[in-house]
Amino acid sequence: STTPVKVAVTGAAGNVSYSLLFRIASGAIFGPDRPVELRLLEVTPALKALEGVVMELDDSAFPLLAGVETGDDPNKVFDGVNLALLVGAKPRGPGMERGDMLKDNGGIFAPQGKALNDVAADDVRVVVTGNPANTNALIAMNNAPDIPNERFSALTRLDHNRAIAQLAAKTGASVTEISNMTIWGNHSATQYPDLFHAKVKGQVAAEAVGDQAWIEDTYIPTVAKRGAAIIDARGASSAASAAAATIDHARDWFAGTAQGDWTSMAVPSDGSYGVAEGLISSFPVTTKDGDYEIVQGLEIDDFSRGKIDASVQELTEERDTVRGLGLI
């Protein structure tokens, strides 16, 4: 199709977006033949900075960029959007209580969910990158009763990509020789990167590694704490890799996963693998044409069961908090 696809991005003047927008405009999600129109949302004080970003988009003369709209009103910016990438959020600051953080995000994601419900295109898909991503997606989904729940997802693809990179480094395989990686649960320190179903050159990764202590004491914490390691090294949080993962998530949702492989997305649970229905939790999924299916029938051993349950428990507590706040 040569009709531009309308892509909304929130937090458009922030660091993740500074990398993300240029990749979307160059065709990284929808390919080299599909024009895109960007619809950029920011909070009012950031609109001036956003003007500067738009100037740089103009100056890039992207052949596929069919238009850019900006604003601070989601009811206008989300009008007719086919894909919404919700990047802007309020992560927990120093000394901030978890409940206050969730309340502040409710103030962002409840109105955005309502606006998507009212003005987005009928085929809209939503990806939440802004943290706490799973619960922000839960809030948006519950405030958009007319949009099917399965259109809402949260990003665990950066964790997935980090899990592949660390496994490649350990085994000497290239990232393309690793398949069937799964991140289970919450995009947080409790996430569980699963080496019992991942494969290295076709061999089960846990067997290829052959070292349970390394998996438990080194691999899982390294993947889960990679964000902090980057802040420590760079003096700023990961932004380009978060943008790259957001692109991978959205591209694969439409273009589809490879035959025999899967990816990780946080999506509303249908009760699979004992995850309470309705929680937005990360699963192995196959995708095609903007739809996904949770991979069924994987055997979960006691070690994995404990890890998944702990992360899902955290999601349950976050859900109970936002429920108590009347946000869902």
Burial class (CB in 10 A: 0-12, 13-18, 19+), 1: exposed
> Does 187 participate in catalysis according to the annotation?
yes
- The active-site residue, picked from 160, 187, 197, 249, is 187
Dist. CA 325–CA 328, nearest whole Å: 8
What is the nearest approach in angstroms of ligand NDP to the Cβ of residue 126?
14
Residues contacting 173, CB < 8 A, separation 6+:
167, 200, 201
The nearer residue to ligand NDP, 240 or 276, going by C-beta atoms, is 240
CA–CA distance from 35 to each of 28, 29, 62 (Å)? 11, 11, 10
For the chain, the residue count is 328
Chosen residue from 24, 25, 81, 87 binding ligand NDP by CB under 6 A: 87
Chosen residue from 130, 185, 193, 268 binding ligand NDP by CB under 6 A: 130
Our finding on whether 140 is near ligand NDP (CB under 6 A) is no
User: Closest CB to ligand NDP belongs to which residue?
Assistant: 14
What is the nearest approach in angstroms of ligand NDP to the Cβ of residue 280?
14
Greatest alpha-carbon pair distance for the chain in Å reads 55
Q: What are phi and psi of 207, to 5 degrees?
A: -75, -40
Residue 268 C-alpha from the chain's centroid: 13
Binders in 18-77 for ligand NDP, by CB under 6 A: 41-43, 46
Our finding on whether 238 is near ligand NDP (CB under 6 A) is yes
The nearer residue to ligand NDP, 94 or 172, going by C-beta atoms, is 94
Strands 178-179 vs 199-200: parallel, antiparallel or unpaired: antiparallel
Annotated binding-site positions: 11-17, 92, 98, 105, 112, 129-131, 162
Please list the active-site residues: 187
Q: Give the residues lining the site for ligand NDP (CB under 6 A).
A: 10-11, 13-17, 41-43, 46, 87-91, 108, 129-131, 155, 158, 227, 237-239, 242
